[in-house]
């Protein structure tokens, strides 16, 4: 892995979180997921969580200054010193410019960006079928990757939960937010010459294998 920061881009349901997790494990660097951090804050009812909850439930983006603050704080922790993965961030041009400034201030080069591309009908199936283990965070899908026993994690017997924003109306809003605000980042990073496009319609293990091969050479 060449760059200090690796960014995963892609529509909701593209598999950013799943792939980021594999890559983070492989290179033993932290996965910084703004979605996970925000969901945890909502669960704990912190001021951040209370501010973000309504936006998330509506499928809208949380304001830039809020998420930029979260990322800046997280990146300053010592485990991020040898590199990190951003998953779900940046999502707007302003956030991408923030990343550039942050990396520059730390004397790091440009990020390396992986854009996972998935057809829209498949995105919908992935999002409506997604279930997450309440204990270990393992992700299942009732259509493609069901657990052995319904509603229960294969690994630790934890209860599988829906994400609050994985209902049809919110999913539609999230996809709209992606098309309106986030998809422009593809051109932003292509212009910087740091974009790598990944075919995301395959099964997760095949995508991970290709990604790790690419990152080991790049
Ligand atoms: P997905 O990519 O599947 O939609 P995430 O877990 O990345 O899911 O994000 C869930 C929600 O958290 C988003 O719909 C949004 O409300 C909020 N969120 C996460 N990351 C950001 C971000 N970088 N900027 C603004 N809002 C964000």
**Per-residue DSSP letter, 152:** B
Q: What is the pLDDT of residue 17?
A: 92
**pLDDT band of 161, cuts 50, 70, 90:** very high
The rounded distance, in Å, linking the Cα atoms of 10 and 115 is 5
The rounded Å distance from CA 99 to ligand 1 centre is 16
In sequence order, what are the residues at sequence separation of 6 or more whose Cβ sits closer than 8 angstroms to the Cβ of residue 218?
1, 2, 112, 196
Residues with Cβ < 8 Å from 44, sequence gap 6 or more? none
Q: How far is the CA of 217 from the centre of ligand 1 (A)?
A: 30
- The number of the ligand 1 atom at minimal distance from the alpha carbon of 88 is 7
DSSP class of 54 = H
- How far is Cα 169 from Cα 33, in angstroms, rounded to an integer? 23
**Span 7-51, pLDDT tens digits:** 999 999 999 998 999 999 999 999 999 999 999 999 999 999 999
Distance CA 15, CA 21 (A): 10
| Average pLDDT over all residues of the chain | 94
Ligand 1 pocket test, candidate residues 39, 62, 64, 200, most atoms within 8 A of CB: 62
Tell me what pLDDT residue 2 has: 75
Contacts of 96 by beta carbon, 8 Å cutoff, 6+ apart:
90, 185, 188, 189
- Residues forming a β-bridge with 141: 130, 145
pTM: 0.90
Q: Please tell me the distance from the alpha carbon of residue 14 to that of residue 12, in angstroms, as a whole number.
A: 6
Distance of alpha carbon 190 from alpha carbon 210, whole angstroms? 20
Cβ neighbours for 82, distance < 8 A, ≥ 6 positions apart: 29
Sign of CA dihedral 58, 59, 65, 70: positive
List, for residues 99-109, the tens digit of each pLDDT value: 999 999 999 99
Catalytic residue among 16, 21, 39, 126: 16
**Residue 35 CB–ligand 1 contact under 6 Å:** yes
Burial (CB count <10 Å: 0-12, 13-18, 19+), residue 214: middle
Q: Which position among 21, 39, 91, 126 bears the catalytic label?
A: 91
Contact between residue 173 and residue 167 where contact means Cβ atoms under 8 Å apart:
no
Place of tokens 């998935």: 118
- What pairs with residue 115 in β-bridges? 9, 197
Location of structure tokens 């069901």: 146
Ligand 1 atom closest to Cα of residue 177:
14
User: Tell me: the pLDDT tens digits for 54-94?
Assistant: 999 999 999 999 999 999 999 999 999 999 999 999 999 99
- Domains annotated for the chain, with CATH where assigned, are 5-119+180-217 (3.40.50.300)
Question: What is the DSSP pairing of strand 160-161 with strand 130-133?
Answer: antiparallel
Beta strands in 102-161 (DSSP E): 112-117, 130-133, 139-141, 160-161
């Amino acid at each position: 892995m060449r760059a200090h920061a690796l960014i995963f881009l892609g529509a909701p349901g593209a598999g950013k979180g799943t792939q980021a997790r594999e890559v983070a494990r492989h290179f033993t660097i932290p996965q910084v997921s703004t979605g996970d951090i925000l969901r945890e804050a909502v669960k704990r009812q912190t001021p951040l969580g209370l501010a973000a909850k309504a936006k998330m439930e509506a499928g809208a983006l949380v304001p830039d200054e809020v998420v930029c603050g979260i990322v800046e704080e997280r990146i300053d922790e010592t485990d991020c010193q040898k590199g990190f993965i951003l998953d779900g961030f940046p999502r707007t041009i302003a956030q991408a410019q923030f990343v550039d400034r942050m990396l520059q201030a730390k004397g790091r080069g440009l990020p390396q960006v992986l854009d996972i591309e998935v057809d829209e009908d498949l995105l919908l199936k992935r999002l409506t079928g997604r279930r997450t283990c309440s204990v270990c965070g393992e992700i299942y899908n009732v259509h493609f990757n069901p657990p052995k026993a319904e509603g229960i994690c294969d690994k630790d017997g934890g209860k599988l939960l829906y994400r609050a924003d994985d209902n049809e109306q919110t999913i539609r809003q999230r996809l709209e937010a992606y098309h309106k605000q986030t998809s422009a980042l593809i051109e932003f990073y292509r212009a910087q010459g740091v974009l790598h496009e990944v075919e995301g319609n395959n099964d997760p293990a095949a995508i991970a294998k290709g990604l790790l091969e690419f990152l080991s050479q790049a």
